[in-house]
Chains A and B, each alone.
Chain A
Amino acid sequence: MKKKILALLMAAAMMMAATACGSSETTETSTGETTTETTETEESTTTEETSAEETSNENNDTFTVAISYMPDTLAPHSGGSDDYTSMTRPLYDKLFIENNDGGLDYYLADSLEISEDGKTYTVHIRDDANWSDGTPITTADIQFCADYSVHKYGYNRYIRVNGVEGSMNIIDDKTIEFVLPEPYNYQIVTLSGMNVYPAHVFDGDPAALENSTEYYSTPGFVTSGAYTVTEINEDSFVCTARDDYYRGTPQVKKIVMKVIGSGSTKAIAFENGEIDYMRITTVDELEKYSSQPDKYNIYSFSEARLNYLQVNPFGPANLNDEQREALFYAINGDEVIDAAYGSDELATNPNSILTPDQTLYNPDTPDYVFDLDKAKELAESSGLSGMTLTYIYNADRPNMEAVAVVLQQQLAQIGVNLQIEGMDSTSFFQRFFAASSYGFNGQETTWDLGTNGWDSMRGTTLHQAYSYLNQADNAWGLTDTCGELAVQVNTTSDPEEAQKLADEVVQLALDQHRIYPLTYTNYVMVSQKNVTGLDCSPIIPEFIDYLGISVNG
């Protein structure tokens, strides 16, 4: 018997040893600095303290963020999802970004000059902009980005317009010119999206950057943002504030990006203090947290996003003008907001295919009118009544299912049976963009109506509405005039002329009853009471600027 008890104890000891082995990996990937702190913590850890340490309130200078998965690399050019962008925001700065007021917020650059003819874009990099290893950020790094583009696509995408390349001229270490073959206002969007890579790390070799997964998965890799990565664990990574960051020292000294389980787990983790903020998308959540102002802060700002309903020109029903008009008369936009979102805090009823965050947006653009009687009349006369239409939506996007159900009910009133199909992003995009991005892969004929969203609709251009209006292969069923006008908006250097043309093309597109603007969404977040400044730079994905965020005791 004693031998058996001993064997059981040995087995328990082995399990504990296995557990210890699992966690020792963490130490190996830590920097020396972090390991020292870890050791100090270990000495004073008890069960209760371990639980308490999960709460960020104990750590005044630590901001804990929930992530949905642990990335295998933190390279600036990997990923592409909003989640990944958020994870790498503290690490990499852009040259500049377009803000919600139609201007530019400068980061690595301190000026952008556009020539009168709209063809030359001169960017000046801040004199004090530097990489986290102390190396100055120069035009050589911009050249490296261009080289990477050539390596990847076969041409320099930063000077290319409509298949024709211009030239890129390095004036000096800090000044570079992008000369376009023709005026192209969208160039601002292209340049603001540029990832700047450290040429000195890869010896200017784009192939080395392409194969940099290992480099970007080891703590200490070079960054241009306010933080560097100092610790990578199985389920989290830690960003530590740089003390030589060119824009100043962040108040938050550490950002912990931690994997939190799916579904309601995130809300529980937030309420338990394990994470410092989360997004809320329902009115119930909004009311719940708003009613506790002593515990939580609520932040709400425009997401610069338009969610819209698209009528597919290749759909099986092949809806004619009158049928589309009937559909749009039957949609009650206010009811969509009320039923699917429940509050103006979460979404508002749009009037245009541009958002109020765009300078070209015109608040006087007439909205579609809800008129059920007229809708019924048109539905009967056009033969729409009694038809079954296939409606697809992206189930990964918040509130889209609720919007689908509301539309189903509204269209049922004019005798239209809406067959709803929700799917994940990957399936949805292939189907929704079958005609525009996937070269007519056969899925363009499988749906009649679909809801999609355009994000980052801010700045001085038509942004995503441009490629929509200037459609390839008649993907969205608009007339060619829309494309011609959109191109003119994009090429004119006169703001007044651009506004006039934008008004014209937006109205023309709306008149064709192909696109129904459904919602302008707000990005609403709830944070712990001691966290402030989450709205200091209201750009989504969050947070473009960590300097304004603070975590106080």
Chain B
Amino acid sequence: MLKYCLKKVGQLAIVMLLISFFSFAIIDLAPGDISSMYLTEDMTEEEKQIVIEKLGLDKSMGEQYLSWAAEALQGNFGVSLSYKTPVMPMLLKRLPSTILLMGTSLVVSLVLSIPLGLIAGYKKNTWIDNAISGFAYIGMSIPSFYFGMLLIILFTAKLHILPSSGMHTVGVDTPLDTFIHMIMPVLTMALGTMASKIRYVRANTIGQLSEEYVLAAKAKGTTPAEILRKHVLKNTLLPIITIIGMNLASLVCGSFIIESVFGWPGVGSFAMEAIGKRDYPVIMAYVMLSGFILVVGNFVADILYSFADPRIKRGIDVANGK
């Protein structure tokens, strides 16, 4: 198992190196740079040159990448070119807002999708299954920005019961106020992500229900609810571990679209702003953070898998000659 973990860590390092290099290259190839924020037509050539040199934009892409990578390896992701302030504190400042929003939507989507998936699988090919599957298809198909706007129109413009944007009402500092601001973005996020989870759980439930242990439970007179809860549920949650592992990145990095539509002051909207300004230290820190969490999330999911399903751990051990 240790060998397996070390191998994964090695892969992680290579993936991070590749992510950083390609991200840097893409930013460099993208048209425009941050100097457009600083250069004006009335500046002299000298002034323009000074600005460009101060921003480090006079160096080649390779030089810029190497100097960035050398600092990044020491945990220093540089200084934002637009704010002239270290990047990491800026990201960390926004992290709680994003974790709160994304974490809540993850919990909501799990809490709703698991029972719905179980019911859909148990009631396979009935109107209940069709209704739940239809709901899942709608969730998968509808663009999140569109669904978000629909919610805003309904709850803000028509019913006047929820605020359209932001995280707090100015001057109101209560958990209830934050909760009210979270309702629409959380629902929007949850709908999009729960659809795939419902499908996974449903498919697994159908598979598990045909297993012999379910037949044995039925023979013992166990009620359908108990079969689902005590026996089937545990075995259907395996793919959910993978999905949660993959969702870990969005938990930390937020969502460009949801945070922009709802004016949520999180990491996603911050990165969106940085992309608009070509503030590459911020963009790189964001990409590295999201890449790192994604890779680590998958790694953790793999480890958890082996604990959740001893067959996998045995398979790894066999592969390693044990």
Q: Does B34 contact A (CB under 8 A)?
A: yes
Number of A-B contacts (CB under 8 A): 221
Which residues from A are CB-within-8-Å of B269? Answer: 69
- B 27-41 contacts with A by CB, 8 A: 30-41
Q: How far is the CB of A489 from chain B (nearest CB, A)?
A: 15
Q: Does A274 contact B (CB under 8 A)?
A: yes
Q: How far is the CB of B285 from chain A (nearest CB, A)?
A: 14
Our pick among A53, A81, A436 for the contact of B37 (Cβ within 8 Å) is A81
Complexed CA–CA distance, A466 and B47 (Å): 18
26 pairs, A vs B, C-beta closer than 8 Å: A19-B175, A19-B182, A37-B171, A41-B171, A42-B173, A45-B176, A73-B85, A78-B82, A79-B37, A154-B46, A163-B44, A213-B84, A214-B85, A235-B166, A235-B264, A258-B170, A258-B263, A260-B166, A262-B261, A268-B156, A268-B164, A272-B160, A426-B32, A430-B36, A431-B32, A464-B42
| Contact yes or no, B31 A274, CB < 8 A | no
Which residues from B are CB-within-8-Å of A259? Answer: 165-166, 263, 265
Q: How far is the CB of B106 from chain A (nearest CB, A)?
A: 12
Our pick among B45, B48, B84, B163 for the contact of A274 (Cβ within 8 Å) is B163
Task: Name the 4 nearest CB pairs between A and B, nearest first.
Answer: A426-B32, A261-B263, A429-B36, A427-B31
Stretch of A22-30, A364-372, A521-529, A531-539 that contacts chain B: A22-30
- B 142-196 contacts with A by CB, 8 A: 145, 149, 152-153, 156-157, 160-180, 182
Residue of A nearest to B152 (CB): A268
| Contact yes or no, A264 B149, CB < 8 A | yes
| Contact yes or no, A265 B263, CB < 8 A | yes
Residue of A nearest to B83 (CB): A72
Which residues from A are CB-within-8-Å of B48? Answer: 437, 439
Complexed CA–CA distance, A20 and B97 (Å): 12
Q: Does B107 contact A (CB under 8 A)?
A: yes
Residue of A nearest to B179 (CB): A19
6 additional contacts (CB under 8 A) given A262-B261, A426-B277: A15-B107, A17-B175, A41-B172, A45-B176, A211-B84, A231-B170
- Digitize A464-497: 1 where CB-to-B-CB distance is under 8 Å, 0 elsewhere: 1011100010000000000000000000000000
Q: Does B262 contact A (CB under 8 A)?
A: yes
Our pick among B34, B161, B178, B180 for the contact of A22 (Cβ within 8 Å) is B178
| Contact yes or no, B172 A50, CB < 8 A | yes
Our pick among B42, B50, B160, B168 for the contact of A233 (Cβ within 8 Å) is B168
Which residues from B are CB-within-8-Å of A214? Answer: 85
Q: Does A80 contact B (CB under 8 A)?
A: yes
Our pick among A50, A73, A211 for the contact of B176 (Cβ within 8 Å) is A50
| Contact yes or no, B164 A265, CB < 8 A | yes
Complexed CA–CA distance, A214 and B89 (Å): 11
| Contact yes or no, A23 B175, CB < 8 A | yes
Residue of B nearest to A256 (CB): B170
| Contact yes or no, B41 A153, CB < 8 A | no
Q: How far is the CB of B246 from chain A (nearest CB, A)?
A: 22
| Contact yes or no, B178 A261, CB < 8 A | no
Which residues from B are CB-within-8-Å of A117? Answer: none
Instruction: Given the known inter-chain contacts A154-B50, A272-B156, please indicate yes or no for A26 contacting B173, CB distance below 8 A.
Output: yes
Complexed CA–CA distance, A464 and B36 (Å): 16
Q: Does A70 contact B (CB under 8 A)?
A: yes
Complexed CA–CA distance, A186 and B44 (Å): 14
Q: Does B23 contact A (CB under 8 A)?
A: no
Complexed CA–CA distance, A443 and B178 (Å): 47
Complexed CA–CA distance, A358 and B46 (Å): 29
Which residues from B are CB-within-8-Å of A15? Answer: 104, 107
Q: Does A51 contact B (CB under 8 A)?
A: yes
Which residues from B are CB-within-8-Å of A430? Answer: 31-33, 35-36
| Contact yes or no, B171 A443, CB < 8 A | no
Complexed CA–CA distance, A256 and B32 (Å): 33
Q: Does B260 contact A (CB under 8 A)?
A: yes
Residue of A nearest to B44 (CB): A163
Q: Does A18 contact B (CB under 8 A)?
A: yes
| Contact yes or no, A274 B32, CB < 8 A | no
Instruction: Given the known inter-chain contacts A233-B168, A424-B276, please indicate yes or no for A429 contacting B46, CB distance below 8 A.
Output: no
Which residues from B are CB-within-8-Å of A41? Answer: 171-172
| Contact yes or no, A238 B170, CB < 8 A | yes
Which residues from B are CB-within-8-Å of A547? Answer: none
| Contact yes or no, B32 A428, CB < 8 A | yes
Question: For chain B, which range describes its interface: under 10, 10 to 19, 20 to 34, or 35 or more residues?
Answer: 35 or more
Residue of B nearest to A21 (CB): B96
- A 399-430 contacts with B by CB, 8 A: 423-430
- Digitize A25-45: 1 where CB-to-B-CB distance is under 8 Å, 0 elsewhere: 111000000100110011001
| Contact yes or no, A429 B32, CB < 8 A | yes
Q: Does B69 contact A (CB under 8 A)?
A: no
| Contact yes or no, B170 A51, CB < 8 A | no
- B 70-107 contacts with A by CB, 8 A: 80, 82-85, 90, 94, 96-97, 100, 103-104, 107
Instruction: Given the known inter-chain contacts A19-B175, A51-B161, A426-B277, please indicate yes or no for A261 contacting B262, CB distance below 8 A.
Output: yes
Q: Does B202 contact A (CB under 8 A)?
A: no
Which residues from B are CB-within-8-Å of A152? Answer: 50
Which residues from B are CB-within-8-Å of A73? Answer: 83-85
Q: By CB atoms of chain B within 10 A, which of A18, A21, A262 has the most?
A: A262
Q: Does B197 contact A (CB under 8 A)?
A: no
Which residues from A are CB-within-8-Å of B84? Answer: 73, 78, 210-211, 213
Complexed CA–CA distance, A170 and B213 (Å): 93
Q: Does A339 contact B (CB under 8 A)?
A: no
Complexed CA–CA distance, A431 and B35 (Å): 12
Q: Does B199 contact A (CB under 8 A)?
A: no
Complexed CA–CA distance, A210 and B79 (Å): 13
| Contact yes or no, B162 A51, CB < 8 A | yes
Which residues from A are CB-within-8-Å of B260? Answer: 261-262
| Contact yes or no, A24 B173, CB < 8 A | yes
Our pick among B47, B170, B172 for the contact of A45 (Cβ within 8 Å) is B172
Q: How far is the CB of B84 from chain A (nearest CB, A)?
A: 6
Which residues from B are CB-within-8-Å of A262? Answer: 260-261, 263
Q: Does A433 contact B (CB under 8 A)?
A: yes
Q: How far is the CB of B247 from chain A (nearest CB, A)?
A: 17
| Contact yes or no, B100 A467, CB < 8 A | no
Q: By CB atoms of chain A within 10 A, which of B97, B145, B269 has the most?
A: B269
| Contact yes or no, A269 B165, CB < 8 A | yes
Instruction: Given the known inter-chain contacts A41-B171, A78-B83, please indicate yes or no for A23 contacting B178, CB distance below 8 A.
Output: yes
